[in-house]
Amino acid sequence: MTIRSHWKKTRNALIVGTVILGGNLAPSNLLAAESSKTAAIDLEIKKTWSIPLREISALSLFDKNLYLASDNERDFLRLPIDGGDFKTMEVSQSKSLSLKAPKGMKLSKKSQWEGLAIDKAGTMFAVKESKDQIFQFTNDGLATRLYQLQYFDGRKNKRKGYEGLLLMKNSHVLIALTAPPTLIEYGPKGEKALGVNHETLLLKDSAFTPPSSDDLYPLASWTLESPKGCETSDLTLSSLGSVLVLLKDCFHIVRAPNLDPSKKSFTPEQVWNYPSEIDHAEGLVEMNDAFLISVDQMSDSRNLFWVEAKTKEPKKAP
């Protein structure tokens, strides 16, 4: 095996307003779901960490560890989560995971990792935005495969690349295009799209089946029906196996519905509004209705945020 190189017219008017979040004013820009009457949920910051990794661009959970990737540094960072709870994380316990390349392949110091997924076997997959590639690593960091993502004709701007990665069955993957915010199913040439649902996504109890070819082709795509200004920055699976999409600039997390290959767009089933204090959000994981969001910034100060649904103030007695 070789290693080589809008928003449709809705039945309801779009709600526009402002909400005070984290002490800042942020546009609410609620993505009013046409198929859902569920109100958007405001999130608040519960805790922050200063992680010794600059420009954190992707997150993934595996075996009671949080894995963090950067678009500026080559190696990953691994942070234990004892007891399966975010509040147990201690930055002092974080360890660098050195990535290694075999003969004939190089890993640049400025990696440009923009998506990270890990299967049951501990095999790690990372999207390299600048080259439209997916690198495959063993759990100790050795690169073993390199997949090339072939041209997607819905990509309007070459500077707006791929961010976010989820593994699927039958050697397929789900990739997020930054702008316009689009989910793309890639797979081996000539195969039919599976669509996205609980039966086609690779859940945490399964290992990814490597394709026979190193080339992956776009098989189906779905563009988010959203106000202008939103860009996709990461994908993750919820605890229940649904696709969650992190949107920057408009400060949203959205849950995607099941995606049928015959459709070309989707409307969110649920929307969360995260505080505007979390600027340039790039990485997302979810656990027990709580989220971790990382930010892509040169500083390693306050670059990881734990957010949960905003607590309602109890009504004062008259």
Q: Are strands 281-287 and 270-273 parallel, antiparallel or unpaired?
A: unpaired
**Peptide bond preceding 180: is omega within 30 degrees of 0, i.e. cis?**
yes
Q: How many domains does the chain have?
A: 1
Which CATH number does the domain housing residue 262 bear?
A: 2.110.10.10
Residue 10 resides in a domain? no
Give per-residue pLDDT as tens, 40-86: 999 999 999 999 999 999 999 999 999 999 988 899 999 999 766 78
Structure tokens at 64: 């009671």
| Domain hosting residue 38, numbered range | 18-309
Q: What is the pTM of this model?
A: 0.86
Residue 6 resides in a domain? no
* Contacts (Cβ under 8 Å, ≥6 apart) of 48: 302, 304, 305, 306
Residue 129 resides in a domain? yes
Give per-residue pLDDT as tens, 180-226: 999 999 999 999 999 999 999 999 889 999 999 999 999 999 999 97
Q: Are strands 133-137 and 124-128 parallel, antiparallel or unpaired?
A: antiparallel
Residue 173 resides in a domain? yes
Which of 206, 173, 197 shows the shortest CA–CA distance to 266? 197
Give per-residue pLDDT as tens, 81-130: 976 678 889 999 999 999 998 777 778 777 789 999 999 999 999 999 88
191 and 202 Cβ atoms separated by less than 8 Å: no
Higher pLDDT, 312 or 52: 52
229 and 253 Cβ atoms separated by less than 8 Å: no
As a whole number of angstroms, the distance between CA 91 and CA 76 comes to 14
Higher pLDDT, 111 or 237: 237
Mean of per-residue pLDDT scores for the chain: 86
Residue 315 resides in a domain? no
181 and 230 Cβ atoms separated by less than 8 Å: yes
40 and 271 Cβ atoms separated by less than 8 Å: yes
As a whole number of angstroms, the distance between CA 224 and CA 219 comes to 17
Q: Are strands 281-287 and 252-255 parallel, antiparallel or unpaired?
A: unpaired
Give per-residue pLDDT as tens, 155-170: 888 888 999 999 999 9
189 and 215 Cβ atoms separated by less than 8 Å: yes
125 and 136 Cβ atoms separated by less than 8 Å: yes
pLDDT the model gives residue 313: 58
Q: Are strands 215-224 and 143-149 parallel, antiparallel or unpaired?
A: parallel
pLDDT grade for 316, boundaries at 50, 70 and 90 = low
Higher pLDDT, 111 or 231: 231
Long-range contacts of 129-137 (CB under 8 A, 24+ apart): 129/71, 129/161, 129/162, 129/163, 130/161, 131/5, 132/161, 132/162, 133/5, 134/165, 134/173, 134/216, 135/107, 136/210, 137/99
Backbone angles phi, psi at 88, to 5 degrees: -85, -5
255 and 269 Cβ atoms separated by less than 8 Å: yes
CA 94, 64, 136, 244 dihedral sign is: negative
Structure tokens at 227: 């106000």
Residue 180 resides in a domain? yes
Residue 1 resides in a domain? no
CA 229, 272, 194, 186 dihedral sign is: positive
pLDDT the model gives residue 72: 87
103 and 120 Cβ atoms separated by less than 8 Å: no
pLDDT grade for 309, boundaries at 50, 70 and 90 = very high
